[in-house]
């Protein structure tokens, strides 16, 4: 099976390694395609994004590395565009459209993946009703546009294996998630099977959860495997489990991105 990954973060935002260090590890592990996807530029989100003044530097560095490693690894320059970011994505070869946060009724932004305590505090900002926040989250996810890939669809479940913050089988949760899936399928965006929370020790299975991934399959959605890798030590570390999950949900192929467009890979 061809190894590829299109959700890679480096020191240009909140990753631990340089792009070249990530490339060297990818070559060592037999990868064929690697796509970089810095968190979209903003001056408001903190240190986890690439700051606007470094975006051009990022693109220049990836262009240099493409030339240096030509013939050894196909390299793409992408961006992970947060739903609140309005920066142009035109300079990039592909876009991961993601929701990381929601805004409460007073307009304050709350992040889905900062910590358990932060998420609990966010529930309080929604009147103590976790499903009100989750409905807001999935409304934002369902409204994603302009991307090639939908990032970590059910990011809100990141901490559930550590603490049962809400019930993913609750009717309000399932309805909100299913409504988002129905809206996204016609866009043609790829749903990523995201391994990021596994490598960081928060989950023992990828996003999306099996019931949601099965729904995506039944509705005709397409998938792409991504590590959401922030540390080269974990590059590709959970791919076998991701493929097994995809097979269990009915999928027989995934998509890879290339300079000439999408290609399909059977597994």
Residue 137 lies in a domain: no
Residue 120 lies in a domain: no
Tens of pLDDT, residue by residue over 234-253, are 999 999 999 999 999 999 99
DSSP string, 197-260: HHHTTS-SSPBSPHHHHHHHHHTT--EEEE--BSSGGGTTTTHHHHHHHHHHTT--EEEEEETT
| Residue 128 tokens, joined | 């103590």
Residue 107 lies in a domain: no
Range of the domain at 62: 3-98+146-266
The reported pLDDT for the residue numbered 54 is 87
Average confidence (pLDDT) over 36-44: 80
Residue 71 lies in a domain: yes
* Nearest CA among 166, 195, 190, 179 for reference residue 139: 179
The Cα–Cα gap between 121 and 136 comes to 15
- Rounded to the nearest 5°, which phi and psi values hold at 8? -125, 130
Residue 255 lies in a domain: yes
Number of domains within the chain: 1
Residue 125 lies in a domain: no
The Cα–Cα gap between 147 and 144 comes to 8
Q: Is the whole model's pTM more than 0.75, yes or no? A: yes
Residue 43 pLDDT exceeds 60: no
Residue 163 lies in a domain: yes
Give the full edge-to-edge strand order of the sheet including 190-194. Answer: 3-8, 31-39, 74-82, 94-98, 149-150, 190-194, 223-226
Tens of pLDDT, residue by residue over 52-83, are 888 999 999 999 999 999 999 999 999 999 99
Question: For residue 26, what is the domain's CATH number?
Answer: 3.20.20.140
Residue 104 lies in a domain: no
Residue 96 pLDDT exceeds 70: yes
Tens of pLDDT, residue by residue over 249-265, are 999 999 999 999 999 99
The reported pLDDT for the residue numbered 45 is 60
């Amino acid at each position: 099976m061809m190894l590829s990954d299109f959700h890679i973060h480096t020191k240009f935002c909140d990753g631990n390694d340089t792009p070249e260090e990530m490339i060297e590890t990818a070559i060592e592990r037999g990868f064929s395609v690697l796509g970089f996807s810095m968190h979209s530029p903003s001056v408001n989100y903190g240190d986890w994004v690439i700051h606007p003044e470094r975006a051009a530097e990022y693109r220049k560095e990836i262009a240099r590395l493409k030339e240096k490693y030509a013939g050894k690894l196909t390299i793409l320059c992408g961006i992970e565009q947060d739903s609140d970011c309005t920066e142009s994505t035109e300079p990039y070869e592909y876009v991961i459209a993601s929701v990381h946060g929601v805004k409460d009724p007073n307009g304050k932004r709350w992040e889905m993946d900062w910590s358990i305590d932060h998420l609990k505090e966010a529930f309080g900002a929604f009147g103590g009703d976790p499903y009100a926040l989750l409905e807001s989250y999935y409304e934002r996810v369902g409204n994603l546009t302009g991307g090639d890939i939908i990032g970590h669809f059910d990011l809100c479940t990141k901490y559930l294996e550590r603490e049962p913050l809400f019930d993913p089988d609750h009717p309000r949760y399932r309805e909100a998630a299913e409504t988002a899936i129905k809206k996204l399928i016609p866009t043609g965006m790829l749903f990523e099977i995201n391994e990021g929370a596994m490598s960081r020790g928060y989950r023992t299975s990828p996003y999306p959860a099996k019931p949601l991934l099965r729904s995506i399959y039944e509705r005709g959605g397409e998938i792409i495997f991504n590590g959401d890798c922030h540390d080269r030590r974990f590059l590709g570390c959970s791919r076998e489990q991701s493929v097994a999950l995809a097979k269990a949900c009915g999928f027989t192929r995934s998509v890879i991105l290339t300079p000439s467009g999408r290609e399909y890979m059977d597994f």
